[in-house]
Amino acid sequence: MLSLVLTNLVRHKLRAGGTAIGIAVGVGTIVALLSVGSGLQRTAGELVRLGQADFGVFQAGVADPTASIVPTSLARRLERREDVARATPLLLMVETIRRDPAAIVFGADPDGFFAQRLVVLRGSRRLGGRRIMVGDQLARRLGVEPGDELRVKRRPFTVAGVYHSGIFFEDNGAVVDLRMAQRLERRGDDATNIVVEMTPGADQAKTERAVRRAFPGTTIIGTPEEAARLGANGELVGKTVTIITALALILGGLGVANTMLMAVLERERELALLNAVGWRRWRVAFVVLAEGVATSALGAVVGLLIGTLGARALNRALDVSSVVTPHLTLDTIAQALAIGLAIGVLGGLYPAWRGTGASPLRLLSSGT
């Protein structure tokens, strides 16, 4: 039966290929969006780990973490708690480096654990005034080294050192003194968030609940899921994927149904002959359905490749590699293949049923 399926596909290769390409475009779009969504989820997880902190304290109710406003004095109040070892304020500045608008510039206290944990690769750990430290990934993209000039909000800064932290956001960003960042952003004595390191042995869930109760109007980010929920990007991508998946199933199913129905109509004599020689109805239906599934599977595989390459190309075209990198997971691959097979099954059901109705009497009537 499989050889018959392959023979029929090769015989109508242009029609099957056109259907497969249409399915590939739909599946490719889904794969690209799922990869971006997974990348956003992973990137959101990095927001939790800034400075290798246990969790971050943000203003409640903001749609974007970078729009949060909290007083820097909150750090001192947090450090008075027994379950908090250290806390330090950060001011996140976006779209401030014209040469790489997606890079984040962190305003940080030079004596806080965030700045102290940066591993200096070249130059020195000197903040204050018009000095800036640059992450190694950002330094590589911009081609800057210690002593070079880097403009932040059109103001010249001298690169004091190049650092590495192993955290995506930090290595693709830069760090200036907190007071300088506050002047640039006109934030007074405010920060974006407070990163917190807990006392060894403290229970994180209990500590987070206690901090929420102690400081109304704040929200805690302690897991990647919480970071993703704080922003709308992950939810938006998820909804978009759902809509496109539904459209792909509907349009792809209709495309397969149309292709297979035309094939069934063209092969009524062949199918009637199979019924006449004793093939059971389920075997005839299997042949027709298998052709639809094979076409969809081919489209899904091609779509997987298109989606992978397309997501990376889109990431480069939009110049957002310092914010998010598409992440292709086994779940994404499984979903893409499952969607492709589902399109084939949904689109092949009616033609398969129609094929089983080919009557041997048609052979007699066509032969007279």
Q: What is the pLDDT of residue 368?
A: 44
- 172 shares its domain with 299: no
Tell which of 200, 221, 242 closes a domain: 221
- Residue 268: what pLDDT? 61
Q: 357 in a domain, yes or no?
A: yes
Report yes or no on 199 lying in a domain.
Answer: yes
Residue 164: which H helix or E strand, with range?
Answer: strand 155-164
The pLDDT tens digits of the residues spanning 116-160 come to 999 999 999 889 889 999 999 999 999 999 999 999 999 999 999
Q: How many domains does the chain have?
A: 2
> Residues 328, 38: contact at Cβ < 8 Å?
yes
CA dihedral sign of residues 316, 321, 323, 327: positive
pLDDT at 364: 47
Boundary of a domain, candidates 221, 253, 275: 221
79 and 171 share one domain: yes
Residue 132 lies in a domain: yes
Q: What is the mean pLDDT of the chain?
A: 78
Q: How far apart are CA 150 and CA 98, in angstroms?
A: 10
Q: How far apart are CA 127 and CA 133, in angstroms?
A: 7
Question: Is 29 part of a structural domain of the chain?
Answer: yes
pLDDT tens-digit readout, 306-332 = 878 877 776 666 555 555 666 677 877
Higher-scoring residue by pLDDT: 220, 262:
220
Report the C-alpha gap between 260 and 326 in whole angstroms. 35
Q: Do 13 and 62 share a domain, yes or no?
A: no
- 283 part of a folded domain: yes
Q: Do 208 and 74 belong to one domain? A: yes
199 and 243 together in one domain: no
Establish if 49 belongs to a structural domain: no
Q: Do 36 and 89 lie in a common domain?
A: no
> Structure pTM?
0.61
DSSP summary character for residue 199: P
Residue type, 350: Y
What integer pLDDT is reported at residue 236 of this predicted model?
A: 47
Shared domain check, 180 and 160: yes
Considering the domain architecture, whether residues 22 and 62 belong to the same structural domain is answered as: no
Q: What is the pLDDT of residue 306?
A: 81
* Contact in structure between 157 and 132 (CB atoms under 8 Å): yes
Instruction: Determine the pLDDT at residue 216.
Output: 93
Residue 227 lies in a domain: no
Does the structure show a pLDDT above 50 at 163? yes
More confident residue, 226 or 53: 53
Residues 155 and 14 in one domain: no
- 104 and 210 fall within a common domain: yes
Residues 206, 241 share a domain:
no
Of 191, 221, 251, at which residue does a domain stop? 221
Q: For 172-197, how does the pLDDT look when each residue is reduced to its tens digit (9 = 90+)?
A: 899 999 999 999 999 899 999 999 99
**Whole-number pLDDT of residue 226:** 61
Candidates 136, 190, 165, 174; CA nearest to 49 is 165
Looking at the structure, tell me whether residues 79 and 172 fall in a common domain. Answer: yes
Nearest Cα residue to 356 out of 289, 292, 271:
271
Distance CA 257, CA 208 (A): 54
- 97 located within any domain: yes
Q: Which is nearest to 10 in space by CA: 207, 227, 263?
A: 263
Share of the chain above pLDDT 90, in %: 34
Instruction: Give residue-wise pLDDT tens across range 21-78.
Output: 777 777 777 777 777 666 666 665 566 678 888 898 999 887 677 788 999 999 999 9
Do the strands 119-123 and 149-152 form a parallel or antiparallel pair, or are they unpaired? Answer: unpaired
Range of the domain at 12: 2-44+234-367
